[in-house]
Amino acid sequence: MTDFFAACPSVTFEGSDTDNEFAFRHYDPEAVVMGKKLKDHLRFAIAYWHSFAWPGGDPFGGQTFERPWFGNSMEAARLKADVAFDLFSRLGAPYFCFHDADVRPEGATFAESEDRLKEITDIFAAKMEETGVKLLWGTANLFSHRRFMAGAATNPDPEIYAYAAATVKSCMDATNALNGENYVLWGGREGYETLLNTDLRRERAQAGAFLQRVVEYKHKIGFEGTILIEPKPQEPTKHQYDFDVATVYGFLKEFGLEKEVKVNIEQGHAILAGHSFEHELALAASLDILGSIDMNRNDYQSGWDTDQFPDNPREVALAYYEVLRAGGFTTGGTNFDAKLRRQSLDAEDLLLAHVGGMDVCARGLMAAAAMLEDGGLEAMRAERYAGWDNNDLTSLGLEEIHSAVRGSTHSPEPKSGRQERLENYVSRFV
Ligand code: XUL
Ligand code: CO
């Protein structure tokens, strides 16, 4: 067993008056909001990679964290699993998420890597049974190893495509064995560094075929979870094909997958794409492809993906407003794809970062629910479009419309968009 978090008590809800750092002020998992418990709305997941596998490096410096489970042995991987499940339990986090590379050391061959993944998957299964923690999603790391430097599905070398396909199969098997509720594909290297060496048409066709094979395999093994693509515009590559929600939707339509695959939207990726988080969520909901979220925040100055824990109640509230307006999560949830700053060395830092993130999400979700129940925004939205309720012109041709407009003496007047009043309205709730 592990004593890494020995100095950290288990965290429970104490309410907003508490001065206990190790307590939730807003996240009362059992509290009922809009007819559902908060824990069932939020469906929090801890990201294995940031919390247990990330060494604390940045582009100018390497490892800052010294964790007892760092190393390339299976013994280290087993210790890491102990520590991870200890954190999940202390936080009362209902879910976790992982890549193959986060949980097992790379083997000398594909088969060895896969066997190691299976061994860890069996350990996870036992720990999940014991603790009640579930798997929100599994995924394959098709971006860290040098073999994937020019992409996985979109690689110019078919042998790498094959390696990626085999890796995804083994990660889907692991996810299925653990009853994962989703399977995520993030195309970190599916893009290009320079157009000068890139055949866009070919790479797009490879990516489409790859995803079709993933969906076929999902049905073949009876995986009941949702396949999710996680959009991101760039970083690590200069340009990534899954740029944003709109781009992914066009891709899914082209390959006939828009009813099979949804999106996992990450706050920081939305910002990198020049959107807000709520824009991406609202668009996905309007296209019926909203699946799950990766919750973090970006530094608005740095221009890269800083993956910080969320701390802005208003932003979080506007995001959950879109999630709730779309009917809430089904298989999806709130994955903290967020990491500590590299100077935050202590076990307490890791645990308390999640406490703060969970609290701000709960606060945001409750504010969003209150807005939705109050109905003010929806009433104003309905009123704004009311003219269309009994007057759908969209099937009429231009000539028909022209003769009606020309024959009328009525001149339409613009109406206020009321933006400031709407912003004031939101401020009342957050
Ligand atoms: C990278 C990122 C990934 C995906 C899973 O920016 O968000 O961690 O969430 O591969
Ligand atoms: Co992510």
Spatial contact of 270 and 277, defined as CB atoms under 8 Å apart: yes
Q: Cα 124 from chain centroid?
A: 21
Beta pairing class for 239-240 and 191-192: antiparallel
* For the CA of 50, the nearest atom of ligand 1: 8
3-class SS of residue 60? coil
CA of 400 to the centre of ligand 2 (A): 49
Asked whether 242 lines ligand 1 (CB < 6 A), one says no
CA-nearest of 121, 93, 107, 115 to 24 is 93
Work out which ligand 1 atom sits closest to the CA atom of 264: 9
Q: Determine the distance separating the centroid of ligand 1 and the alpha carbon of 137, expressed in angstroms.
A: 12
Q: How far is the CA of 77 from the centre of ligand 1 (A)?
A: 21
Q: Which residues surround ligand 2, an ion (CB under 5 A)?
A: 266, 294, 337
* Residue owning the nearest CA to atom 3 of ligand 1: 186
Extract the tokens encoding 321. Answer: 């407003």
What distance in Å separates the CA atoms of residue 263 and residue 349, rounded to the nearest whole number?
30
Residue located via tokens 């009342």: 428
Residue with CA nearest ligand 1 atom 4:
186
* pLDDT value of residue 2: 77
Residue type, 353: A
Q: Is the CB of 186 under 6 A from ligand 1?
A: yes
10 Å Cβ neighbour count for 165? 18
pLDDT of residue 154: 98
Contacts of 426 (CB under 8 A, 6+ apart): 314, 317, 318, 371, 377
Handedness of CA 212, 134, 287, 191 (dihedral sign): negative
Residue nearest atom 5 in ligand 1 by C-alpha distance: 186
**pLDDT in the model for residue 397:** 97
Q: What is the pLDDT of residue 1?
A: 59
Nearest partner of 29 among 346, 362, 369, judged by Cα: 362
User: Which residue's C-alpha comes closest to atom 10 of ligand 1?
Assistant: 186
Q: Is 305 in the pocket of ligand 1 (CB under 6 A)?
A: yes
Distance CA 173, CA 158 (A): 22
How many angstroms separate the CA atoms of 408 and 140, rounded? 62
- Is any ligand 1 atom within 6 A of the Cβ of residue 100? no
With a 6 Å cutoff on the Cβ, whether 114 touches ligand 1 is no
Q: What is the model's pLDDT at position 110?
A: 98
DSSP-derived letter for residue 30 is T
CA 346 to chain centre: 26
Known catalytic membership, residue 389: no
- Taking the centre of ligand 1 as the mean of its atom positions, its distance from the CA of residue 241, in whole angstroms, is 15
* Alpha carbon of 138 to ligand 1 centroid (Å): 11
CB of 181 shorter than 6 A to ligand 1: no
- Domains defined for the chain, CATH in brackets: 33-374 (3.20.20.150), 379-427 (no CATH)
Ligand 1 mutation target, pool 46, 143, 232, most atoms within 8 A of CB: 232
C-beta 230 within 6 A of ligand 1 = yes
Query: Atom of ligand 1 at shortest distance to CA of 335?
Result: 9
**Cβ neighbours for 403, distance < 8 A, ≥ 6 positions apart:** none
Whether ligand 1 lies within 6 angstroms of the CB of 173 is answered as no
State the catalytic residue, choosing from 28, 100, 102, 242. 102
Tokens of 209: 């075929």
Query: Which entry of 26, 99, 269, 279 is annotated as an active-site residue?
Result: 99
Atom of ligand 1 nearest to the CA of 47: 8
Task: Reply yes or no on whether 99 is catalytic.
Answer: yes
Contact 20, 10 (CB under 8 A): no
* CB-count burial class (<10 Å; 0-12, 13-18, 19+) for 222: exposed
Q: pLDDT tens, position by position, for the chain (430 residues)? A: 579 999 999 999 999 999 999 999 999 999 999 999 999 999 999 999 999 999 999 999 999 999 999 999 999 999 999 999 999 999 999 999 999 999 999 999 999 999 999 999 999 999 999 999 999 999 999 999 999 999 999 999 999 999 999 999 999 999 999 999 999 999 999 999 999 999 999 999 999 999 999 999 999 999 999 999 999 999 999 999 999 999 999 999 999 999 999 999 999 999 999 999 999 999 999 999 999 999 999 988 888 899 999 999 999 999 999 999 999 999 999 999 999 999 999 999 999 999 999 999 999 999 999 999 999 999 999 999 999 999 989 999 999 999 999 999 999 999 999 999 999 999 999 9
Helix, coil or strand: residue 290: strand
The answer to whether the predicted template modeling score (pTM) of the entire model surpasses 0.85 is: yes
